[in-house]
């Protein structure tokens, strides 16, 4: 039987908990983990999307170290000493790459299985606040306190034929205050949506293909990307063209975002409240018919979202219950439950339909910095808090400590370039083939010897 679990972390409490989102039962815990908002990443066990989570990567808040955990034990599996302290981290959806951002605006990209540093470059003028991979791993999206959002093609970042700094495929500068969160929608590079959040009280929508704008009114699946900002600014963008579709205005600064699995609704946290924003609505029919469903916004329109404390008429669109600012949001796989972590040291589980809190997790002894929801790893089926599994009870995860410097040409010539092809199998190769942006090809190596 499949069980959905939540993994919650804190920037002050060194224990991270894995617990059942419906019963609240704690299944597992990690020790010695102190990471802040956006500093936790989940990597699948195999090199294909949709597989179970095999690794947990956490950038530590007080030192230039990344802790890598596996489900075999509650202690650190691999400790990685980084060139500088990382403030945000992300893992690709196939579990192949890890990207980390720094206070100075620099981004590092590693291969998880070998620990090789593939690229480091200056991406922003100020602190990198959030990193996200596109759902097909064709691009890396970065947000910063310089109010900019950059889209980097992964094929360019992995191309070591030139030492020049990479150029972003898109650079969105519509926001005026720091970026707080980014969510990448489902789909290929040409059809996905990106949701970003900022402190400037606006939310914008962009489209990639003009054709998609017409399809939005009749399709039940969103064909554009959404970008939200932390204060009253939310934008929806499309990766293919980068065109802005809609700007959403919210009453409070946005600190976290979550997107419905069907991309019909998004949730934005502002202060101690969570706002639900529908991306589709039913057009009022002049006759007695039921009316047509149309997409909200489009053509650069501005949509105001009400529902603050002074607007009781819109209370049905707001989740209330936390006593301190919300730091992170996550949805169950079917979108029926919403999880919110807060500085009040609690995690609330909400029923999306009724917007009522059905459970509160209170195990943490300090502010909760992040919450993630996924299927329970089978390694934890017979484990409780602190339990350690036998080494032969599950597949071994191939992972090496991250290198602080890139391999030299002599090292690559002598040792080859280790790359993971599939199923955590490591191979040695003398050259690398790169996938095509927007496609579903995996970046891999071919072993010639």
State whether residue 32 is helix, strand or coil: coil
Q: Which residue reads 């590079």 in tokens?
A: 189
Supply 378's token pair.
């089978």
Cβ–Cβ under 8 Å, residues 432 and 158: yes
What share of the chain has pLDDT > 70, as a percent?
Answer: 72
More confident residue, 14 or 410: 14
The span from the CA of 8 to the CA of 291, in Å, is 43
- Does pLDDT of 379 surpass 90? no
CA distance 288 to 283: 12
Residue 195 has pLDDT above 60, yes or no: yes
Least confident of 131-135, 159-163, 396-400: 396-400
CATH 1.10.10.10 holds for 4-406? no
Average pLDDT value for the chain: 79
Q: Which residues contact 235 (CB under 8 A, 6 or more apart)?
A: 172, 174, 175, 196, 202, 203, 204, 205, 206, 226, 227, 228, 229, 244, 246, 247, 248
Task: Determine the pLDDT at residue 27.
Answer: 94
Among the residue ranges 111-115, 197-201, 335-339, the one predicted with the least confidence is 197-201
Rounded CA gap, 343 and 370, in Å?
Answer: 10
Domain edges within the chain: 4-406
Banded pLDDT at 232 (limits 50, 70, 90): very low
Lowest mean pLDDT among 60-64, 276-280, 416-420: 416-420
Of how many residues is the chain composed?
A: 449
pLDDT at 216: 29
User: 217: which 2 tokens?
Assistant: 């009114």
Cα angle vertex 425, ends 35, 137, to 5°? 55
Does residue 227 surpass a pLDDT of 70?
Answer: no
Where does 115-253 show beta strands of DSSP type E?
117-122, 128-133, 139-144, 149-153, 170-172, 179-184, 193-198, 202-207, 225-228, 233-238, 243-249
Check if the beta carbon of residue 109 is closer than 8 Å to that of residue 89: no
The number of CA neighbours under 13 Å toward the Cβ of 36 is: 13
pLDDT at 410 over 50: yes
The encoded tokens of residue 306 equal 């009400």
Q: Comparing 295 with 314, which gets the higher pLDDT?
A: 295
Distance CA 156, CA 167 (A): 8
Q: In what order do the strands lie in the sheet with 65-69?
A: 40-44, 53-59, 65-69, 78-81
| pTM of the complete model | 0.83
The rounded distance, in Å, linking the Cα atoms of 414 and 274 is 54
Structure tokens at 132: 């996200």
| CA Rg value for the chain | 21
pLDDT in tens, 304-361: 776 555 554 445 589 999 999 999 999 999 999 999 999 999 999 999 999 999 999 9
């Amino acid at each position: 039987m499949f069980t959905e679990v939540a993994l919650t972390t804190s920037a002050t409490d060194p224990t991270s908990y894995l617990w059942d989102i419906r019963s609240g039962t704690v299944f597992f815990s990690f020790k010695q983990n102190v990471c802040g908002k956006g500093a936790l990443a989940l990597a699948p066990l195999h090199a294909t999307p949709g597989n179970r989570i095999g690794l947990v990567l956490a950038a530590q808040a007080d030192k230039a170290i990344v802790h890598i955990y596996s489900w075999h034990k509650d202690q650190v599996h691999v400790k990685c000493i980084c060139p500088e302290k990382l403030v945000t981290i992300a893992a690709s959806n196939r579990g192949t790459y890890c990207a980390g951002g720094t206070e100075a605006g620099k981004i590092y990209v590693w291969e998880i299985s070998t620990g090789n540093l593939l690229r480091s470059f200056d991406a922003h003028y100020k602190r990198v606040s959030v990193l996200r991979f596109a759902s097909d791993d064709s691009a890396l999206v970065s947000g910063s306190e310089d109010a900019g959002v950059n889209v980097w093609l992964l094929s360019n970042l992995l191309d070591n034929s030139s030492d020049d700094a990479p150029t972003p495929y898109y650079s969105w500068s519509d926001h005026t205050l720091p970026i707080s969160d980014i969510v990448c929608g489902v789909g290929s590079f040409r059809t996905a949506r990106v949701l970003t959040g900022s402190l400037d009280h606006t939310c914008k929508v962009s489209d990639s293909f003009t054709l998609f704008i017409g399809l939005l009114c009749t399709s039940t699946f969103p064909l554009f990307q959404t970008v939200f900002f932390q204060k009253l600014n939310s934008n929806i963008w499309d990766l293919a063209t980068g065109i802005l579709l809609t700007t959403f205005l919210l009453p409070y600064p946005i600190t976290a975002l979550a997107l419905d699995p069907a991309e019909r609704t998004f949730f934005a946290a502002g202060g101690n409240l969570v706002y639900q924003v529908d991306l589709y609505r039913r057009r009022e029919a002049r006759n007695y018919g039921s009316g047509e469903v149309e997409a909200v916004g489009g053509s650069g329109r501005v949509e105001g979202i009400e529902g603050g404390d002074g607007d009781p008429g819109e209370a049905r669109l707001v989740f209330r219950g936390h006593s301190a600012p919300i730091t992170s949001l996550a949805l169950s796989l079917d979108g029926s439950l919403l999880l919110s972590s807060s500085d009040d040291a609690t995690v609330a589980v909400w029923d999306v339909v009724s917007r009522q809190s059905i459970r509160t997790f209170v195990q943490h002894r300090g502010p909760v910095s992040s919450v993630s929801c996924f299927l329970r790893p089978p390694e934890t089926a017979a484990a409780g808090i602190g339990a350690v599994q036998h080494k032969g009870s599950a597949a071994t995860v191939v992972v090496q400590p991250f290198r602080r410097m890139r391999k030299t040409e002599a090292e690559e010539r002598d040792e080859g370039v280790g790359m993971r092809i599939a199923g955590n199998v490591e191979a040695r190769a003398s050259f690398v083939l790169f996938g095509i942006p927007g496609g579903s090809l995996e970046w891999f190596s071919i072993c010639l010897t």
